[in-house]
Every structure is written in structure tokens, then in C-alpha cells.
Amino acid sequence: MSIFDVRIRDGLARIGVLRVGEEEIRTPAAAETTKLFPSLLCRPLTNLPPSASLPDVDAYYVPGHEPVAFHPRAACTAVSGEVILISGWHQTLGDARKYAEYLSAVLAGTPPDTARYAPACALPSNVAMLIATGFDLFDYIAADLASMRGRFCMPEGEFNASYMKKGICGCEGCRMGDLLSHNRFALDREITLVKTWIEMGQVRELFEQRCRLHAEQVSLLRHLDRYVFTAAALPVVRSSRFMANSGESLTRPEIAFFMDRVINRFVPSRNDVCVLLPCAARKPYSLSKTHQRFQKVIEGRAHEVIITSPLGVVPRELELIYPAGHYDVPVIGYWNREESAILAKYVAAYLTKHRYKRVICHLEGGAKAVAVAAAEDAGITLEFSCMDDRPSSPDSLLILDNALKDCRKQRSDPIRGIFAWQFGKLVDTKGWITKGRYPNQKIYEKKQQLFSIDAATGLLRPTMGGWRFVSGYRVTICGGFVPQGDILVPGVADCDPNIREGDEVYVIGPSYAATGRAEMSADEMLRSSRGIAVRVRKTKKD
């Protein structure tokens, strides 16, 4: 029997440890699977493709020994820690729609902590896609078949065997003229590279890069961004860079999640005057010289909202929160029509939900065009304060200053906005004091610390005292034991269904309480049997 532990997650992609007998494999990995699982050699007439009809499933589907066969039209008997075999997955590689539909069935029909094995699929050109979509174990069959057909395999595609002599690769197989050895090496090397990107929390960036040479992979990426299960697997925030270097970056689920909370959870600190500002290369924006000039002129007389690609709208209070404080985008001087349409939709939704008495547009170029289109959709009138498309020029700043001359100053209250975005609740912050140098700050009520700001993600980290202001985000542990460290999945009795990986959570149990960070989603906590559910930061025992 095998034992599989997930150690690192990046959306659907995972790094784990698979133990089969005395063999230990750090997944994702390619292996001689018939040696790991000898039963694979004696299971004829059971390899059903996902598209097989129900009569064929009734006639030929046999769960068998491990790896446990999975089919979307049959009940899978696999339990946590085992390996599941998805036969015929190679038939889905050219059909993005079916790939996404069947992948949804795999995720829903098996425990989250099972290892997923896709036989006869992996090539250097597609294994990044397979790993990014949740597969853990592969074999060398597809690479060996390519060798038999005289194909030289690289991440960029499959070429004639003569290319092995062109010096493209310097592996031992190429030096010896051994095509099979090269193709296996290229597969192993690509898997190792993907692991590195998972560790950095940027497997999406690698997927966007690798898919560019394969139309079917681009199509799959676009399909997956529309599925709920893709978004649900992502952490609420992370500390890694968010590289928006392609058109597909605009549809990343992280952006939709961030903007949904900006529109439906966040509440501006004031609703009389809003100034729309351009973004800055430096993050958070407040540390850039341009935004320091803006803030010096505005002086708390208006609510500051940044219009940016690819996010759309970033209220000043949320500039630290992922991905607002982490994205990087190529600057080319204009926004194309598709980009502008997507961003205008976000801006219009924000201005419709949060009605200001006045909206001052201090923007240029594409951002200004987006704001104009959004204002028209939202049915509001913009005031303009930017001269000659130079928002930071003395003349433009003077116009902005004059536009705000009759506006009253208000104390900035970023904590209220972050709290609403993070926990979905408005809280009265009167009497709260912020100490420390931005962004490394702590929030106190009198002498009691309530929260600290995680400078890496922008989230509030509640202390024991701070949790009394938060509803939900609770994890209940089983009675009869007191944890001595992190909370493991077997100890979880129940949890808030809204919890996602990266959320701050409050752990409660008999004679025990703790504050920490969720290491997996609520669904995974409740359907898994292995792994760390909550990374504990502080405990309290009665």
C-alpha cells in the first residue's frame, strides 16, 4: 500500500512525497510504474478512456489493486494516501473542453490527498501543463514511444531525431547519440524545473510561458480560468511575484477573486470625493515618488483609488494585499481593446456599487479611456484634473489641488478597509492605534495588541484578543486531545466552509485555542486524512 503526503501547493499543482513499499519518490515525478505497481502488468481490458460509455464501464471497469482505477462514470474506491490511475488521459490532451470537464470529475470524485497518475501521457512539451492541472505521477511510455518514432523531445515540442546532433542539448544521451536516454532526461529535467516554480508559487507563470507554442494548451488555460474548481484551489493570498506577461494573465482567477471582494466586501472610508490615480511600477504604490506627490496634494481630502492593469481597481487601503502589492506588468504605453474592456467592466462595477458624490479622474492614456468608459456605464460624471497626459506634472497637481480646495480632510483608516476585504465585516476602529513603520505595523486598542500586518501578503494577523472582532474563519478540533504544535487534518472536526489556503484562522477546541494560517482549503481539510491543516502561530491552553 502506498502513502502520499502533499507538502507544497500552488493551485492545483503539488509537491509531495509518495512511499510505495520501501521506495520513496518526491512528486511530481516520472517513474518505472510497472516496478512500483506490478499489478499494472496483469490488468488486461481495464484501461478505459474517460470518454467510455456507461455500458463499457459496467462491462470493463475494475477498480483492482493500487493504483486504483478512476473513471468519471464509476464510483472510485480510492482512499486518502493511495494512487489513482486515470487511464486514457492522453486522449483528452487535444480537447481542452473535455480535459477541463474530466479534470473536474477527477477532483470531485477522489480524496484530495490521493496521488494522480496519468499513464502514457508525459512529454517534455506537456508535463508542465499536466503538473499545473494536478497530476503527480507519470511514466516514460510516451517519451519512449517518441524515441521509437525517431522524435527528439524538448519542452518546445517534438522534432526530427537529427536535431539531436545540432547541439541543442548537451545531456549524456545527446553526447552518446542515445535518443531514448535524451528523451527520458528531458522529461525528468522539465519535471524538476516545474517543481522549482511550484516552490516559488509561480507555476502559473511557467504554464503561461510553456503553453505559447501549443495551441491546445493555450485553449486549456483559457477554459480552466472559467472553472470554479481552479479558483477554489488557489490561496487567498501569497507572497510571490504576480507576473502578468500575457493576455491570459487578465483572466487569472486571483484577479477575479480580488476584485469580487473589492466590489462586494470592501467599503470606502468616505463616499463624498474619490480621486482616480494611475498605478506605479513600485509596490506598494505609497512608496513610489509619484504617489507620494499625489498624497501630499490630496492630504486626506478624498478617497484614493488606483486604476491599473491587470487588476482594474485598487483602493489605497488595499495596496499591500496580494496581488495588488505583488504584480508586475510590461508597460508599452497603451491598453488594447480586450484589456480595456475587461478593466472597464471592473471599474464600472466598483463605481456602481460604491457611489461617490464626486469622482475626479487624474489619469492619462489607456487608464483614462477605461475610466471614461466605466463612468458612462455606471452613469456618473467625471471631473478631469490631468493636463497634457502628465499626472505628476506641477500643472496637473495644481489643478487637482484646486479641485479639492473645498473638501474636508479626514484621517486615513486603512485597517477598516483591509478588515472588510479580508473578513467580510465592517468594524468600528475608533480607539484603535497603529504603531510601527509602514508596512510593518501593529494595531492596538489601548495597550492590547489586536492585529499585525503581514507585510508579505497585506493581510491582518489577529492576536487572541483580535479574534473577538472577527466572525467565522473558525476551525474546530476534535475533543479529547490538546495539540502540541500545528493542527493536523485528522484533528479537524469542522471548519468554516469559506476558508481557503492562506486565510488567517482561529482554532478552537476543549481547553484550547490558537491563531494561525490555513495550509489548505476547508474542502481539503474535511475530505483529506493527511497533512497540516493549520500552521499555528500562537496558542492558549486552559
Tell me the CATH number at 70: 3.20.20.105
| pLDDT tens per residue, range 113-165 | 999 999 999 999 999 999 999 999 999 999 999 999 999 999 999 999 999 99
Confidence of residue 44 (pLDDT cuts 50, 70, 90): confident
Q: Are residues 256 and 162 in the same domain?
A: no
Q: Are residues 437 and 483 in the same domain?
A: yes
Q: Are residues 335 and 468 in the same domain?
A: no
Q: Are residues 193 and 219 in the same domain?
A: yes
Residue 251 resides in a domain: yes
The pLDDT of 399-411, averaged and rounded, is: 93
Q: Are residues 391 and 467 in the same domain?
A: no
Residue 237 resides in a domain: no
Average pLDDT, the chain: 94
- CA terminus-to-terminus distance, the chain: 40
CATH number assigned to the domain comprising residue 500: 2.30.130.10
Confidence of residue 540 (pLDDT cuts 50, 70, 90): confident
Q: Which of 360, 376, 403 is the last residue of a domain?
A: 403
Assess whether pLDDT exceeds 80 at residue 333.
Answer: no
Q: Which of 196, 230, 264 is the last residue of a domain?
A: 230
Residue with cell 480537447: 95
Tell me what pLDDT residue 239 has: 93
Q: Are residues 142 and 220 in the same domain?
A: yes
CATH number assigned to the domain comprising residue 381: 3.40.50.10630
The pLDDT of 40-68, averaged and rounded, is: 86
Tell me what pLDDT residue 62 has: 82
| pLDDT tens per residue, range 214-249 | 999 999 999 999 999 999 999 999 999 999 999 899
Q: Is there a cis peptide before residue 44, judged by omega within 30 degrees of 0?
A: no
Burial profile 405-431: b = 16 or more Cβ within 10 angstroms, e = fewer: eebeeeebbbbbbbbbbbbbeeeebee
What's the rounded Cα separation, in Å, for the pair 137 and 18?
9
- Interacting residues of 485 by C-beta distance below 8 A, sequence separation 6+: 536
Residue 235 resides in a domain: no
Residue 408 resides in a domain: no
Confidence of residue 46 (pLDDT cuts 50, 70, 90): confident
Residue 315, Cα to own-chain centre: how many angstroms?
A: 21
Helix, strand, coil share (%) of the chain residues, nearest 5: 35, 20, 40
Give me the domain span that covers residue 306: 242-403
What's the rounded Cα separation, in Å, for the pair 233 and 104?
12
Confidence of residue 408 (pLDDT cuts 50, 70, 90): very high
Residue 54 resides in a domain: yes
- Per-residue HEC secondary structure of 231-289 comes to HHCCCCCCCCCEECCCHHHHHCHHHHHHHHHHHHCCCCCCCCEEEEEECCCCCCHHHCH
Residue 511 vs residue 180, higher pLDDT: 180
Residue 198 resides in a domain: yes
Tell me what pLDDT residue 42 has: 86
Tell me what pLDDT residue 287 has: 94
Q: Are residues 278 and 226 in the same domain?
A: no
| pLDDT tens per residue, range 94-117 | 999 999 999 999 999 999 999 999
Confidence of residue 272 (pLDDT cuts 50, 70, 90): very high
Residue 434 resides in a domain: yes
Assess whether pLDDT exceeds 80 at residue 64.
Answer: no
Q: Are residues 65 and 194 in the same domain?
A: yes
Confidence of residue 15 (pLDDT cuts 50, 70, 90): very high
Residue 415 resides in a domain: no
- Per-residue HEC secondary structure of 90-108 comes to HHHCCCHHHHHHHHHHHHH
Hey, what's the torsion of the CAs at 399, 401, 405, 407, to 10 degrees? 120
Q: Which of 230, 265, 297 is the last residue of a domain?
A: 230
What's the rounded Cα separation, in Å, for the pair 13 and 9?
6
Count of structural domains within the chain: 3
Specify the 3-state DSSP secondary structure of 49.
coil
Q: Are residues 14 and 128 in the same domain?
A: yes
pTM beyond 0.85: the answer is: yes
Residue 408, Cα to own-chain centre: how many angstroms?
A: 40
DSSP 8: E
The pLDDT of 371-399, averaged and rounded, is: 95
Assess whether pLDDT exceeds 90 at residue 47.
Answer: no
Identify the burial level of 183 via C-beta atoms within 10 angstroms of its C-beta, where 0-12 means exposed, 13-18 middle and 19 or more buried.
Answer: buried
Q: Are residues 390 and 446 in the same domain?
A: no
Q: Are residues 179 and 281 in the same domain?
A: no
Beta strands in 335-447 (DSSP E): 358-361, 382-384, 432-435, 442-445
Assess whether pLDDT exceeds 90 at residue 464.
Answer: yes
Q: Which residues pair with 445 in a beta bridge?
A: 432, 448
Q: Are residues 221 and 259 in the same domain?
A: no
Assess whether pLDDT exceeds 90 at residue 176.
Answer: yes
CB 107 within 8 A of CB 139: no
| pLDDT tens per residue, range 65-89 | 789 999 999 988 899 999 999 999 9
